[in-house]
Amino acid sequence: MADVTPAQHLFDLTGEVVLVTGASSGLGARFTKVLAAHGAKVIAAARRVERLEALAAGSPNVAPLALDVTAPGTFADTLDSAESHFGPLTLLVNNAGISGQSRILDAEPHEWRDVQNTNVDSIWHLSKAFALRLVERQAPGTIINIASIVSYRAGMSPAAYAISKAAVLHMTKAMAVEWARHQIRVNAIAPGFIHSEMTEAYLASSAGEAMTKRTPQRRAGDPSDLDGALLLLASKRASGFMTGSSIIVDGGLVLA
């Protein structure tokens, strides 16, 4: 039986080099700060570079990187640029996403395509490019996908978004099965409604207030509520025998 590892060492991410997508705001910005605070070197990637530069200011563990996740033809160059900062990547956090607005009968074709391109296709292409590098180096690695509680339940969000997040959950399982033999772990976090730029208007609406009342804990989440799940899945010591798993962090809403 292995020795007991103290918590301060269990979640020490020293040596990890992480790429976080959608890092210019909301959950991505929080993930960047948390990973860097625990010793990881983090490349914060998004389209809004000025926000990334502000996020990286004063932190030797964070570097900004321009990235459009809907342009897979740029991913090889993007990964080269990312690795020029801190060395070979070991961990990928697929966080970038958009929500969509419409019910199915009202949705224009471009809305469906935009949501799937950002929320599904980007994870497929970027994860594949990342995994290929690990396989070529014969190095282990970790992928954390950001799914949602709407991966499990319809009717809680615009349909295109719910469908995309269900795809993310199943893609997580498929990648985990195929890549386990390469020592690449793939897991997901499925947040409930968390305060962010994407959700603030909804949470302030009557529908959002009603949703909060239905949540067993009677509140929406704070980005910090995801810190523990993130650190668990990022740490090889803490979750080395986990792959294909999804951690729900939703105040109990999926049960309501």
| Per-residue pLDDT reduced to its tens digit, 130-178 | 999 999 999 999 999 999 999 998 878 889 999 999 999 999 999 999 9
Residue 187: phi, psi to the nearest 5? -135, 175
Answer whether residue 240 is part of any domain: yes
Cβ distance 187 to 172 under 8 Å? yes
Q: Is 161 a catalytic residue?
A: yes
Residue 207: phi, psi to the nearest 5? -65, -40
Q: What is the mean pLDDT of residues 98-125?
A: 94
Q: Could you give the strand order of the β-sheet that contains 141-146, starting from the edge strand earlier in sequence?
A: 62-66, 41-46, 17-21, 91-94, 141-146, 184-191, 246-249
Closest by alpha carbon to 96, among 161, 45, 133, 157? Answer: 45
Catalytic pick from 31, 75, 130, 161?
A: 161
Enter the pTM of the model. 0.96
Answer whether residue 255 is part of any domain: no
Residue 75: phi, psi to the nearest 5? -65, -35
Share of the chain above pLDDT 70, in %: 100
Cβ distance 63 to 42 under 8 Å? yes
Cβ distance 11 to 36 under 8 Å? no
Give the model's pLDDT for residue 203. 87
Calculate the average pLDDT of the chain: 95
Answer whether residue 86 is part of any domain: yes
Answer whether residue 105 is part of any domain: yes
Enumerate residues 6+ apart whose C-beta is below 8 A from 101: 111, 158
Answer whether residue 226 is part of any domain: yes
Cβ distance 251 to 216 under 8 Å? yes
Q: What is the mean pLDDT of residues 99-123?
A: 93
Q: What is the mean pLDDT of residues 87-101?
A: 95
CATH number at residue 187: 3.40.50.720
* Domain of 206, in residue numbers: 7-250
Q: How many domains does the chain have?
A: 1
